[in-house]
Structure 1
Amino acid sequence: MNKSSFHLTEQNQKIESRIVVALERISEAFRVLLWNESKQNSLSPIQIQILIFISFHSVEKCKVGYLANEFNMTKATISDSVKVLLSKELVTKEIDPIDTRSYTLSLTDEGKKIAKKASFFASSIEQPIEKLTEEQKIIMLNGLLKLIYDLNKSGIITIQRMCFNCSYYKTEKGLHYCNLLNTKLAESEIRVDCPEHETIT
């Protein structure tokens, strides 16, 4: 790679570079939408993300250590954000009786209210996707899943709960299969964030 994907000549010559730039533009849209949502609630973007995450995930994942890995941040940074959420009475913590240094987080009623509203922050991105054909959606989904999988393998993205790195998943002759559900999976059914996910060891 001799030139940056952001070099205009490189973009014109390589479709890979144009895809990278397109993804960067979309990531900018996510940042803007998340910032707007966080400002409305006098919170930081990561604090909004923590509330949304807690709202939709099991209690064992709602710990500072897991959240740090989930969002690719240090435990100290997540702890600081959690302290703010605790002070604003948006979350509560339950100390682990076995390890008193560890605790799980849950939402208060006000936290649930904010998380529910904030979870729709990306709806304006979903709307144009709905206009795509089913074939276009499947191609886009599979391309993104493979990209996320490779980024996960290279260590750029830490935690993933997708089919491709799940112990229940297998593929044969191009067909996807889930051993937990004991069923074939259509390409449109491959999951990005599965609650039953078991990481391959």
Structure 2
Amino acid sequence: MKSSSFDLQKQNQKIESKIVVALERISEAFRVLLWNESKENSLSPIQIQILIFLLFHSREKCKVSYLAREFNVTKATISDSVRVLLTKKLLEKEEDVADTRSFNISLTTEGKEIAEKAAFFSLSMESPIEKFTTKQKEVMLSGLLKLIFDLNKSGIITIQRMCFTCSYYQVESGSHYCKLLQSKLAENELRIDCPEHEMSH
């Protein structure tokens, strides 16, 4: 019978289990930071995440259906959050002329102010990483990108806008290459969220 990564006996004998538990601790830190930020603004964590997402992403991604896939939650959950944000005048609705059943959402001036401040909630996570050597950062990024790619392939994480899932990405003579930029990419140039991302088929 398989034992859990949280079983200390297994965990202390297997590096994969230690990595899983370490990632769980880091996700816990993100939850705490997000909760603190959301409490400060009398919003829920998902509402803060929506505001931050809208601040940095293109108009065509600013729809309820896209946000539901982005955050791996139901459309109803996103709709409820959007409704609250509209009531609080942090978001505004724009009808989609191409599809009358759909609408885009955008930040109001107040919504933008909150999003710009809230976007720094993860700063205390970045500070310790800045102390790593360049090589440590590259190894970490490479490992995390591969992990996200595999989780995406297995359907655990839905939307990804990273190099590995992009039609412009290819491996050329063992090196990463972007056909859009027409250049080789170093490990530290691989993107996890690219505005030019085109899903590969």
- Superposition TM-score tier, normalisation by shorter sequence: over 0.9
Name the residue aligned to 1:155.
Answer: 155
Aligned to 2:135: 135
- How far apart are residue 2 of structure 1 and its match? 1.1
Report the CA distance between 1:55 and its aligned residue.
0.1
- Structure 2 letter corresponding to 1:79: S
Structure 2 equivalent of residue 104 of structure 1: 104
Q: Which residue of 1 aligns with 2:51?
A: 51
Give, in angstroms, the shift of residue 138 of structure 1. Answer: 0.2
Q: Matches of 1:61 and 1:14 in 2, distance apart?
A: 40
Code of the residue aligned with 1:17 in structure 2: it is S
Task: Give the whole-Å Cα distance in 1 for the aligned partners of 2:80 and 2:148.
Answer: 28
Distance 1:153 1:166 in 2: 13
Give runs of ≥4 in structure 1 deviating > 6 Å: none
Match of 2:88 in 1: 88
What are the residue-to-residue correspondences of 1:60-79 with 2, within 5 Å? 60-79=60-79
Name the CA distance, whole Å, in 2 between partners of 1:93 and 1:52.
Answer: 17
Structure 2 CA distance for aligned equivalents of residues 173 and 33 of structure 1: 42
Q: Percent same amino acid among aligned pairs?
A: 74
**Which whole-Å deviations, capped at 9, do the CAs of 1:37-96 have from their partners, x for residues lacking one?**
000000000000000000000000000000000000000100000000000000111011
Following TM superposition, by how much is the alpha carbon of 1:189 offset from its aligned partner in structure 2, in angstroms?
0.3
SS at match of 1:101: coil
Q: How far apart, in 2, do the equivalents of 1:12 and 1:136 lie?
A: 23
Task: State the match for 1:124 in structure 2.
Answer: 124
Give the aligned partner of residue 17 of structure 2: 17
Flag structure 1 segments of 5+ consecutive residues without an equivalent: none
SS at match of 2:171: strand
Query: Can you give the 5+ residue segments of structure 2 that lack an aligned partner in the other structure?
Result: none
TM-score, normalisation: structure 2: 0.99
In 2, Cα distance between the equivalents of 1:99 and 1:144?
37
What CA distance in whole angstroms lies between the structure 2 residues aligned with 1:78 and 1:160? 18
Q: In structure 2, what is the Cα distance between the partners aligned to 1:165 and 1:101? A: 30
**What is the rounded CA distance, in whole Å, between the counterparts of 2:47 and 2:66 in structure 1?**
15
In the alignment, what sits opposite 2:144? Answer: 144
CA distance in 2, matches of 1:39, 1:32: 11
Q: Give the 5 Å matches for 1:35-50.
A: 35-50=35-50
Residues 139-193 of structure 1, C-alpha deviation per residue, up to 9 Å, x if partnerless? 0000000000000000000000000010000002320000000001001100000
Mapped partners of 1:26, 1:99: distance in 2: 40
Q: Distance in 2 between matches of 1:98 and 1:113?
A: 30
Tell me how many residue pairs correspond in the alignment.
Answer: 201
Q: Secondary structure at the match of 1:167?
A: coil
In the alignment, the residues of structure 2 paired with residue 5 and residue 189 of structure 1 have an alpha-carbon distance, to the nearest angstrom, of 32
Q: TM-score, normalised by structure 1?
A: 0.99
Q: Which residue of 2 aligns with 1:5?
A: 5
**1:99 to partner: Cα distance:** 2.0
DSSP-derived class of the 1:13 partner: coil
1:181 & 1:118 partners in 2: Cα distance?
32
